[in-house]
Structure 1
Amino acid sequence: METAQAYRTYKPLLFSLAYRMLGSVMDAEDIVHEAFLLLGAASDKTKINNIKAYLCKIVTNRCIDKLRSAAKQREVYIGTWLPEPIVEDDINDPSISLEKKETISTAFLLLLQQLTEVERAVFLLREVFQYDYDDIASIVGRSSTNCRQIFHRAKKGMMHRPDSVKPNDDHSNIYLEKFAQAVLDGNMDLVHAMLKKDAVFYSDGGGKVMAALRPIFSADHIARFLLGVITKLPANATYQFKNVNGSPGMIVMIDGRIDYVVSFEVNDGKIAKIYMVSNPDKLNHLNQ
């Protein structure tokens, strides 16, 4: 298989794996690009028995190395760390399965942060991409028995997934639009009523822009914070509802640039969690 054909065939798979491993669009793209450069530079491609496995092994191990080297940076990260958002136009894209949408949700990606680098790789390869243990073993350099043990240990850490709204639930889209309008209108009573009492708001400014450095707890505090943010936005700010990490969300644009990306988690018919990314470094890929 020629490199160009391999790129068309396997790039979506490799990016999906790298993004889930890293929570970074730009780093994922760089690693996938490097994998294809290595494939192109291979002196004798006929010796590569399985190009898909070859590429997957490069991407997985580069991601593991990246996570290890970035560990110290994460320790001194200013404020809450959130993954770089993936924004799509169609929140009801039928080509994306509900299961796959769940595994790029902000909540799911944050749960993955609890796992070690190797646990994360084994868990994703098995749970999301349905690799068998022998293939996983060859990718991560462990025995298949060890990979099976790693997977079960990792799965225990991922058992408490949020029971959030289905990503393509039309009712939730309308509900979130109503919530956003209530915030824009300064209707604090309605904003408060649409949030769960124990709701949590997470904001990632990375120390580059103004953002809440710690999570904000309770509907009352979140409502006050959001209304305070809205009053500080310039008059030319515009809002669009988009698919953010597989779920309904919204973007806020100022002077034609995306300054905020917001996603929501809905439980029991009310908003349980709000994730807002405003770190400009994490929005660069959306503003290119």
Structure 2
Amino acid sequence: METEELYHEYKPLLFSLAYRMLGSVMDAEDIVHDAFLSFNHLENKETIKNPKAFLCKIVTNRTIDKLRSAAHKRNEYVGTWLPEPLVEEKNDPSHSYIMKESISMAYLLLLQQLSEIERAVFILREVFQYEYDEIADIVDKKSTNCRQIFHRAKKSMGEEPKTSKTELAKMTIKVEQFIKALQRADISQMLETLRGDAVFKSDGGGKVKTAINPIYTAERIVQLFISVIKKLPEGASFKYKVVNDRPGIVVNINELAAYVVSFEFIDDKISTIFMMANPDKLVHINRTASGSLEL
């Protein structure tokens, strides 16, 4: 199979692997691109019996190297670190493929608590259903070790609830209710959509003023949102999107994404709100941003 054919067939899978490992869209794209370049330059690539496994090994190793080299930057990060949001685009089949597997912000944050090897083993087994012998070859560990690593990681991660299309539709209605109430400054309606113990987490990366620490309780979150919307410039717009497999909002200012917000639910009420405001983590969205829902 030619490299171009392999690229079209395996790019979504490899991007999904790299994104889950790193929590970065742009870094994942770069690593996948470089992996195919490296594969294409191999003199003996025709002799490789399993190109898919070979490419997975390249991507896994490079993401592990990237995580280790960037560890000190994470420790020095200003405020709460959140993964780069992945906004589903209807005209991008690769994103549709990725969204088929749960990839919520909450789950990605749990993955970040695992070591690099634990993360790789867990993703390859849990998400991509690789056999332990295959995983062992990719991460250069024994099969029995990979089995132990997976079970340890699985215990830490727990089970993420699957979200059906029906449930996603119900969640989207709740988000619309929350946003419309916000636009009217209807505090009681906003509180009605939130759990009392709701949490708000935002990532400005020290580039944009935002809450450095999580905000707890529905009352404080409502006060914060009322304050924020009052400061939005005239012409700001909302666009409803699926963000990391959850209902979300892209807030555009001057036709560029300034905030991406996603929502988690428990018992039909909003339990966690994640807001990305770091412009460095919104570059990939602004490359393809279009359309809006006017305020």
- Shared fold (TM-score, shorter chain, > 0.5): yes
Q: Contact 1:242–1:251 (CA<8 Å) still a contact in 2?
A: yes
CA distance in 2: counterparts of 1:106 and 1:249, whole angstroms: 11
Q: Identify the residue that residue 127 of structure 2 maps to in structure 1.
A: 128
Q: Identify unmatched segments of 5+ residues in structure 1.
A: none
Higher mean Cα deviation, 163-172 or 41-50?
163-172
Which runs of structure 2 are paired with 1:44-123 in the superposition (5 Å)? Answer: 44-89=44-89, 100-102=100-102, 104-123=103-122
Identity among equivalent positions (%) equals 56
- AA partner of residue 276 (structure 2): V
- Tell me how far 1:269 sits from its aligned partner: 1.3
Deviations 1:18-50 (A, max 9, x none): 001101000000000110011110012122121
Structure 1 pair 254–266 and aligned structure 2 pair: CA distance change class (3 A): same
Q: Identify the residue that residue 173 of structure 2 maps to in structure 1.
A: 174
Q: Identify the residue that residue 31 of structure 1 maps to in structure 2.
A: 31
CA distance in 2: counterparts of 1:75 and 1:53, whole angstroms: 32
Q: Contact 2:16–2:98 (CA<8 Å) still a contact in 1?
A: no
Q: Identify unmatched segments of 5+ residues in structure 2.
A: 288-295
Structure 1 pair 97–49 and aligned structure 2 pair: CA distance change class (3 A): closer
CA distance in 2: counterparts of 1:225 and 1:121, whole angstroms: 37
Q: Identify the residue that residue 277 of structure 2 maps to in structure 1.
A: 278
Q: The residue matched to 2:78 in structure 1 has which SS?
A: coil
Q: Identify the residue that residue 193 of structure 1 maps to in structure 2.
A: 192
Which runs of structure 2 are paired with 1:99-248 in the superposition (5 Å)? Answer: 100-102=100-102, 104-159=103-158, 161=160, 163=161, 166=164, 168-169=166-167, 170-248=169-247
CA distance in 2: counterparts of 1:264 and 1:164, whole angstroms: 15
- Tell me how far 1:189 sits from its aligned partner: 1.4
- Tell me how far 1:254 sits from its aligned partner: 0.6
Q: Contact 2:111–2:119 (CA<8 Å) still a contact in 1?
A: yes
Q: Identify the residue that residue 8 of structure 1 maps to in structure 2.
A: 8
Q: The residue matched to 1:26 in structure 2 has which SS?
A: helix
Q: Contact 2:249–2:260 (CA<8 Å) still a contact in 1?
A: yes
- Tell me how far 1:173 sits from its aligned partner: 1.2
Q: Identify the residue that residue 290 of structure 2 maps to in structure 1.
A: none
- AA partner of residue 278 (structure 2): N
Deviations 1:188-210 (A, max 9, x none): 11112211011000000000011
Higher mean Cα deviation, 210-219 or 37-46?
37-46
Q: Contact 1:165–1:172 (CA<8 Å) still a contact in 2?
A: no
- AA partner of residue 28 (structure 1): A
CA distance in 2: counterparts of 1:246 and 1:197, whole angstroms: 24
Q: The residue matched to 2:70 in structure 1 has which SS?
A: helix
Q: Contact 1:200–1:216 (CA<8 Å) still a contact in 2?
A: yes
CA distance in 1: counterparts of 2:284 and 2:50, whole angstroms: 32
CA distance in 1: counterparts of 2:99 and 2:281, whole angstroms: 25
Q: Contact 1:167–1:247 (CA<8 Å) still a contact in 2?
A: no
TM-score (norm 1): 0.94
CA distance in 1: counterparts of 2:229 and 2:166, whole angstroms: 27
- Tell me how far 1:51 sits from its aligned partner: 0.7
Q: Contact 2:78–2:212 (CA<8 Å) still a contact in 1?
A: yes
Q: Contact 1:164–1:265 (CA<8 Å) still a contact in 2?
A: no
CA distance in 2: counterparts of 1:20 and 1:236, whole angstroms: 35
Q: What is the RMSD computed on CA atoms of the aligned residues?
A: 1.8
The aligned length equals: 283
- Tell me how far 1:62 sits from its aligned partner: 0.4
TM-score (norm 2): 0.92
Q: Contact 1:165–1:265 (CA<8 Å) still a contact in 2?
A: no
Q: Identify the residue that residue 22 of structure 1 maps to in structure 2.
A: 22
CA distance in 2: counterparts of 1:212 and 1:164, whole angstroms: 30
Q: 1:264 aligned to 2:249? A: no
- Tell me how far 1:137 sits from its aligned partner: 0.1
